[in-house]
Structure 1
Amino acid sequence: MGRSLAFLLPALLLAATVESLLTVRPDCQESCGGVDIPYPFGIGAGCFRPGFEITCLNNTMPVLPASTGVVRVLTLLVMPRPEARVMLPVSWTCYNSAGNTTAVSLDGRVNFNKDNVYRISNTHNQLFVLGCNTFVYTMSWCTAHCNDPLSAMYTLYSGCTTYCNDSRSAQDGACAGVGCCHVDIPPGIGDNLMKFDTWSRVGKEFSPCDYAFIVEKGSYTFRAADLHMEKHTRLPLRLDWAIRDSNVNSTASLSCAQLSQGNSTSCVSDHSECVDSTNGPGYVCNCTKGYEGNPYLPHGCTNIDECARPREEFPCKGECRDTAGSYSCTCHPGYRSNGDPRENPCNPNFTLAAKLAIGISLSVSLIVVALLLVLIMLQKRKLDKVFEKNGGRILQNVKGLTIFSKEGLKKNTKNNSEFLGNGSFGKVYKGTLPDNTMVAVKASIKVNEATKQEFAEEVEIHSHMIHKNILKLIGCCLEVDVPMLVYEFAANGSLGHTLHGNKKQNLPLDLRLEIAIGSAEGLRYMHLYTTQAIRHGDIKPDNILLDDNLTPKISDFGLSMLLKEEYFAKKVVGCMGYIDPVFMKTGLLTQKSDVYSFGAVLLELITGKENVYDKNHSLIIEFCKVFEKEKTGRAMFDKEIVATGEDIFILEEIGKLAIECLKEDIEDRPDMTEVAERLVMLRRERKLHKTPNRTPSRFEEINMEYSPNNIDRSGTSSATCSVPSTPTSKDFNASP
């Protein structure tokens, strides 16, 4: 015993020294790509605890710096449980017609534990295997020669077997061994490596590949079509994390019992406590009961005002008073409770005479009260029925979504006294929440029993889409015949109003470029959102809102929600001039349809003209004619933003990008990731040009090229635009 303590003491002293030196600089980056980065996580030197580094790729996407693979981070949580939600690629192996494996495969090898921080959560994930006549298992926790796959040893395994008789064996929603199997995983798994083992594949051409992946519970449902899953598919997974020893093969990670002997821990906040990890060795920190916040920061745990929380969470049937770390619940003077007023109501402490007087008064008013109660009950029953019809029982359990009552929403909007405009389905009003947050309240679609589930899923998906360039859905009111949706308020209205309205603003080129970049980033986030990418379906300047800082916000998701799980629309609905001709002709809506619409928006930004202007002129057609004839779009650029050859270069590049977005063949159009990156590159070079003592940039090299007398119109261009055939009306609704 003495030798063990003597051996452990230097390590404890070193840990105490390291902990005492850990600080967070005030200039540390707090988020990346819309994802909060709470300490002990951090970006950049001095901003994170060892092992908790986050890398911000292109300043837009947070990733774990794993030893293998790019692991995108979706969320990071400190409390109420230590968790990192990430995206991982699906592992796969494929077979030729002879039943032999092909040369290319993906075993999904990802080692999270370069610094021994993460474990794959066994309580929140499952292993899925898809294919026919195959057995797949995951090997994890390399114990020796980790860098040499031939010599590595693994101590944790989990897997299952699938089989198929024929191409009709696998059924949607059924994952019990026929085409699909799933199994729980054990605790302690610290990395990911899939091993495929198969038997005869003869006659199994309908299932050319096997797939395996660990995925967050509830995030995946098997479909028979997934036997032909896209090989680049990524799925969400939850990781548990804890403070552990840096050596993955060591069992010497400190526990709370060892740290309680006067040694320093990472639990530096007042009112914080050490809790042993439940998935692997080590410990985590929690705020003590009655406090919340970040226990890893000095003074990070703050008192909870229990009296301001819902009574279901902190019950009190009397007078509630907040105290440090707790609360008191007592009866008002003249009242008493038959027991604890937290659980039992407080009743008046009346004398006999007072009770008789009250009884007489109650008898006189009994009929009136009864009638009132009947009216109230009928009204409540009506509201409950409407609430249920609009999916209230589903949406009231959605985390982060506020459910407003009918009366509460009337109060917030001052009975709809401030009209903002007309939305896709009805009028839009301005409102103010109790915390003085400005909101916009707009009508949604009418819901019935057949569409209730779909509407609830749409609202839930939208409430979870958190990005600075996506209009945030705050809550909804379901006690009205047509549900009302409550959004963040965009003080400067729509981009269409700003460019073309009665009080249009003269936006400089730099600001137009920022609006284009922000709008592209919002669309890219939608296209990459979870496993089922979202298509917007109705991108136009009126659906790009601007906040008080002129930051663009993508809004109006009516069409995109309805198509989130379908590829073909039953009706083609949109705005002429922005609608993808492929979608208009076939009903096929893809992410490249949004790219086409965004190309039309880019043309409006650089020309200042409406998509259909002078009543019968199409901006897309006119710009393409000019570009194909003169090899430049300069003749149509907005004169208010053209000042230098540098401006001409930027506008030319945006015009070329717009034409690529408008190409007739959807395969020739760029995706939104490429569009956003190219716009960001233009901004970067423009800023470089303005930097003193710089290296001569591309702008200076081509400045003369774009001067009025030096534009070369002798070249050829393969750029062609795809345009609507009859651009004579802005709005349409047609069947494919």
Structure 2
Amino acid sequence: MCRTKMAVDAADPNITRRRSSRRTQTTTPETPTRSSSKSETRLHPSTSNVTSSSYSYGGGTSSSYRLGSSIATAEASVSSRTSLSSLRNSLPENTHIYDFSEIRSATNNFLAKRFSSSSSSPSWRCSLRGKEVVVFQRKFRRSIQESELREKLSVIYRSHHMSIIKLLGASISGDYIYLAYDFMPGGNLADCLRNKRNPEFTVLSTWMSRMQIATDLSSGLDYIHNNAGLKINLVHKYVKSSSVIVTEPSFNAKICHFGTAELCGETVVEPKIVKDDKRSGEIQEVVSPESSPPTNLTRSNSRALQFEGIKGYMAPEFRGLATQKSDIYAFGVVILELLSGEEPVKYKFDKEKGNHVKTSIVDTAKFAVEGDGGDESEVEWRLRRWVDRRLKDSFPVTVVEKLTRIALDCVDEDPNKRPNMSRVAGKISKLYLDSRKWADTIQVPTDFTSSFAPR
């Protein structure tokens, strides 16, 4: 299949880099040399004999963009008229600001098959500069100044944690930002817990596999909230079981979409609660210009205009403004899913009343731990009935009770009573060690041999 020159350049920018490097070295001996290591390298831009239409940046890649043709067709502006070139120049050397033509070429002008993900936004799995990525298209929800966008993108790119899927770079075109994340093979946690084809089967069939995921999630979210390095409070906003990738074969958990809410302007909007309307449908966030009053929340019956809060994971106080406390609430729901294997919210048909009754995983967990009182044996009996039966009753009950209580603390209706993620991560790490001792004592096999492959 024939490809255009633009497609070839985007698919293999290294060719352009080699040719331009030879020309530069012959005219400017001061140009720094590039390491041949396979790991990520930094390529310092030369300051001599380089025109304003050529940019070099790290990550093991560099590219040359012609301002007259390609950038002119995809000028990036966020309300402050931020251009790709000025944003690229102001970021660290190894931050990837992709030219929009690269995104178009990699996605076959956005005609490639859509990637199935937990996000409601369009996404494509493709190759950018020889690396397999998933590109998400997101719309800016508010005006963002260049300095704010530059600071957030720089810090998010430099963030490294084994439980977080890395953001590799971004591209801006008009009102949209295209975020390229590292592709991570595996299945999302929701599918691992609830196999639609075979509900009685789960790859997470051992207690240690679930404790491993709980530990990974808590440490990853703690890193986002407290250790990412930005001077503001970073928020994830999209914590849910379908936004967690379970890798194979080690069954470690990795959090998706880190940085999406920050870069799209979804964490600083000041919402106003609109009077409830029984006829209304989903909540819709209306984005107003920077000079306008604070953003309002209105109601809409249109299914196409859904607010990006997830049913079952939204904290009671959530009105569109994501906070660390709302993240902690959603995290608590995910832990309860991990323990019970059930969905956050279910509707069961009541034959006596003749209608469907809503059942919340939070309510069932509270009953399992508290119930109608009783001694320890009764609490243990209720917990064994509530915990996922596919674990085959093989788990340390004391650890399960403590983990359930931690999750219930996270979903407290009062956000001020919810614990900090640092405290939660520390407690879960201790429970992981207790679970390891329990597994060693009863000699439970901890090597995982399950597979995501179809049976």
Q: TM-score range by the shorter chain?
A: 0.5 to 0.7
Distance (Å, rounded) in 2 between the aligned partners of 1:558 and 1:307: 31
Alignment equivalent of 2:102, drawn from 408, 411, 414: 408
1:428 aligns with 2:123: yes
1:440 offset after TM fit, Å?
A: 0.8
Quote the residue 1:295 is aligned against: none
Distance (Å, rounded) in 2 between the aligned partners of 1:497 and 1:451: 36
Residues 98-247 of structure 1 mapped to structure 2, 5 A cutoff: none
Distance (Å, rounded) in 1 between the aligned partners of 2:121 and 2:325: 29
- Evaluate the alpha carbon distance shift between residue 310 and residue 688 of structure 1 in structure 2; reply closer, same or farther with a 3 A threshold: farther
1:497 offset after TM fit, Å?
A: 2.7
1:634 aligns with 2:384: yes
Distance (Å, rounded) in 2 between the aligned partners of 1:619 and 1:692: 31
Distance (Å, rounded) in 2 between the aligned partners of 1:541 and 1:423: 9
Alignment equivalent of 2:87, drawn from 371, 387, 395: 395
Alignment equivalent of 2:224, drawn from 522, 526, 543: 526
1:509 aligns with 2:207: yes
Is residue 269–residue 321 contact of structure 2 (8 Å, CA) maintained in 1?
Answer: no
TM-score, with structure 1 as normaliser? 0.40
- Evaluate the alpha carbon distance shift between residue 690 and residue 575 of structure 1 in structure 2; reply closer, same or farther with a 3 A threshold: closer
Distance (Å, rounded) in 2 between the aligned partners of 1:693 and 1:578: 36
Is residue 412–residue 432 contact of structure 1 (8 Å, CA) maintained in 2?
Answer: yes
Q: Return the structure number with greater strand share.
A: 1
Higher relative contact order (CA 8 A, sep 6+): 2
1:610 offset after TM fit, Å?
A: 0.7
1:609 aligns with 2:342: yes
Is residue 442–residue 486 contact of structure 1 (8 Å, CA) maintained in 2?
Answer: yes
Distance (Å, rounded) in 1 between the aligned partners of 2:154 and 2:442: 51
- Evaluate the alpha carbon distance shift between residue 385 and residue 600 of structure 1 in structure 2; reply closer, same or farther with a 3 A threshold: closer
1:606 is matched by which residue type in structure 2? L
Quote the residue 1:687 is aligned against: 436
1:382 aligns with 2:91: no
Is residue 583–residue 593 contact of structure 1 (8 Å, CA) maintained in 2?
Answer: yes
1:478 aligns with 2:228: no
- Evaluate the alpha carbon distance shift between residue 316 and residue 522 of structure 1 in structure 2; reply closer, same or farther with a 3 A threshold: same
SS in 2 for 1:605: helix
- Evaluate the alpha carbon distance shift between residue 466 and residue 638 of structure 1 in structure 2; reply closer, same or farther with a 3 A threshold: same
Q: Which has the larger radius of gyration?
A: 1
Distance (Å, rounded) in 2 between the aligned partners of 1:452 and 1:588: 19
2:312 is matched by which residue type in structure 1? G
Alignment equivalent of 1:664, drawn from 392, 404, 413: 413
Q: Return the structure number with greater helix share.
A: 2
Is residue 538–residue 579 contact of structure 1 (8 Å, CA) maintained in 2?
Answer: no
Is residue 71–residue 99 contact of structure 2 (8 Å, CA) maintained in 1?
Answer: no
1:486 offset after TM fit, Å?
A: 0.6
1:451 aligns with 2:193: no
Please give the per-residue CA displacement for 1:486-522, whole angstroms capped at 9, x wherever unaligned: 1011212422232235367431221111111111111
1:536 aligns with 2:271: no
1:464 offset after TM fit, Å?
A: 2.6
Please give the per-residue CA displacement for 1:47-80, whole angstroms capped at 9, x wherever unaligned: xxxxxxxxxxxxxxxxxxxxxxxxxxxxxxxxxx
SS in 1 for 2:309: strand
Quote the residue 2:5 is aligned against: none
Distance (Å, rounded) in 1 between the aligned partners of 2:81 and 2:393: 58
- Evaluate the alpha carbon distance shift between residue 310 and residue 618 of structure 1 in structure 2; reply closer, same or farther with a 3 A threshold: farther
1:669 offset after TM fit, Å?
A: 2.2
Quote the residue 1:583 is aligned against: 318
Is residue 346–residue 359 contact of structure 2 (8 Å, CA) maintained in 1?
Answer: yes
Q: Percent identity?
A: 22
- Evaluate the alpha carbon distance shift between residue 414 and residue 465 of structure 1 in structure 2; reply closer, same or farther with a 3 A threshold: same
Is residue 115–residue 125 contact of structure 2 (8 Å, CA) maintained in 1?
Answer: yes
Please give the per-residue CA displacement for 1:166-199, whole angstroms capped at 9, x wherever unaligned: xxxxxxxxxxxxxxxxxxxxxxxxxxxxxxxxxx
Please give the per-residue CA displacement for 1:447-499, whole angstroms capped at 9, x wherever unaligned: 88x43535554433422322112221101233576321110112124222322
1:308 offset after TM fit, Å?
A: 4.9
Is residue 76–residue 172 contact of structure 2 (8 Å, CA) maintained in 1?
Answer: no
- Evaluate the alpha carbon distance shift between residue 500 and residue 401 of structure 1 in structure 2; reply closer, same or farther with a 3 A threshold: farther
Is residue 469–residue 521 contact of structure 1 (8 Å, CA) maintained in 2?
Answer: yes
SS in 2 for 1:583: coil
Alignment equivalent of 1:440, drawn from 126, 129, 134: 134
1:647 offset after TM fit, Å?
A: 3.4
Is residue 414–residue 431 contact of structure 1 (8 Å, CA) maintained in 2?
Answer: no
- Evaluate the alpha carbon distance shift between residue 379 and residue 588 of structure 1 in structure 2; reply closer, same or farther with a 3 A threshold: closer
SS in 2 for 1:476: strand
Distance (Å, rounded) in 1 between the aligned partners of 2:133 and 2:70: 28
- Evaluate the alpha carbon distance shift between residue 692 and residue 426 of structure 1 in structure 2; reply closer, same or farther with a 3 A threshold: closer
1:611 is matched by which residue type in structure 2? P
Distance (Å, rounded) in 1 between the aligned partners of 2:224 and 2:136: 22
Structure 1 unmatched runs, 5+: 1-304, 327-341, 345-375, 695-736
- Evaluate the alpha carbon distance shift between residue 425 and residue 309 of structure 1 in structure 2; reply closer, same or farther with a 3 A threshold: farther
Please give the per-residue CA displacement for 1:142-188, whole angstroms capped at 9, x wherever unaligned: xxxxxxxxxxxxxxxxxxxxxxxxxxxxxxxxxxxxxxxxxxxxxxx
Please give the per-residue CA displacement for 1:672-710, whole angstroms capped at 9, x wherever unaligned: 11111111111112222344799xxxxxxxxxxxxxxxx
Distance (Å, rounded) in 1 between the aligned partners of 2:334 and 2:222: 15
1:433 offset after TM fit, Å?
A: 3.5
1:623 is matched by which residue type in structure 2? A
Distance (Å, rounded) in 1 between the aligned partners of 2:266 and 2:77: 25
Quote the residue 2:402 is aligned against: 653
Please give the per-residue CA displacement for 1:188-235, whole angstroms capped at 9, x wherever unaligned: xxxxxxxxxxxxxxxxxxxxxxxxxxxxxxxxxxxxxxxxxxxxxxxx
Is residue 535–residue 563 contact of structure 1 (8 Å, CA) maintained in 2?
Answer: no
2:311 is matched by which residue type in structure 1? M
Is residue 473–residue 485 contact of structure 1 (8 Å, CA) maintained in 2?
Answer: yes
Distance (Å, rounded) in 1 between the aligned partners of 2:401 and 2:163: 25
Is residue 132–residue 183 contact of structure 2 (8 Å, CA) maintained in 1?
Answer: yes
1:633 offset after TM fit, Å?
A: 3.1
Distance (Å, rounded) in 1 between the aligned partners of 2:158 and 2:238: 20
Quote the residue 2:424 is aligned against: 675
- Evaluate the alpha carbon distance shift between residue 588 and residue 383 of structure 1 in structure 2; reply closer, same or farther with a 3 A threshold: closer
SS in 1 for 2:426: helix
- Evaluate the alpha carbon distance shift between residue 625 and residue 323 of structure 1 in structure 2; reply closer, same or farther with a 3 A threshold: closer
SS in 1 for 2:404: helix
Is residue 152–residue 262 contact of structure 2 (8 Å, CA) maintained in 1?
Answer: no
Quote the residue 1:620 is aligned against: 362
2:123 is matched by which residue type in structure 1? V
Is residue 187–residue 247 contact of structure 2 (8 Å, CA) maintained in 1?
Answer: yes
Is residue 578–residue 596 contact of structure 1 (8 Å, CA) maintained in 2?
Answer: yes
SS in 2 for 1:550: coil
Quote the residue 1:259 is aligned against: none
Is residue 325–residue 418 contact of structure 2 (8 Å, CA) maintained in 1?
Answer: yes
1:395 is matched by which residue type in structure 2? L
Quote the residue 2:292 is aligned against: none
1:643 is matched by which residue type in structure 2? D
1:312 offset after TM fit, Å?
A: 7.8
Distance (Å, rounded) in 1 between the aligned partners of 2:33 and 2:324: 53
- Over aligned residues, Cα RMSD in angstroms? 4.1
Q: How many residues align?
A: 338
2:390 is matched by which residue type in structure 1? E
SS in 2 for 1:575: coil
